[in-house]
Amino acid sequence: MFCPPLGSFFQHLSKAVGIVTKSVLTEHLITVASSMTCTGSLHGFNRSGYEATFQSLKVQAPFTKATLSVSVVDFF
């Protein structure tokens, strides 16, 4: 199902989520695990993680970058 590093990460992610909540669909965990490791490195779901992912993939995502760097109050 997974390459060994992703499989190991998926197991850890599944256990961590299981501590916080009752259940999450396996498909959702697979999507999260794939998104966090799509560049071959592990990147978190935070500002620096997104920036590292965008830089590795050589893509620009100005709206995502703006939402991570601007206060929510500034959107209203």
Q: How many Å apart are CA 67 and CA 52, to the nearest integer?
A: 16
> Whose structure tokens read 């893509």?
59
Clarify whether residues 2 and 32 are in a common domain: yes
* pLDDT tens, position by position, 44-65: 878 888 888 888 888 888 887 7
Co-location of 1 and 31 in the same domain = yes
Q: How many helices (H) and strands (E) does the chain have?
A: 4, 0
- pTM assigned to the model: 0.59
The token pair at 26 is 């396996």
Regarding whether 49 and 31 lie in a shared domain, the answer is: no
pLDDT number for residue 5: 59
Do residues 31 and 47 both lie within one domain? no
Which range marks the domain in which residue 22 is found? Answer: 1-37
**Cα R_g (the chain), whole angstroms:** 15
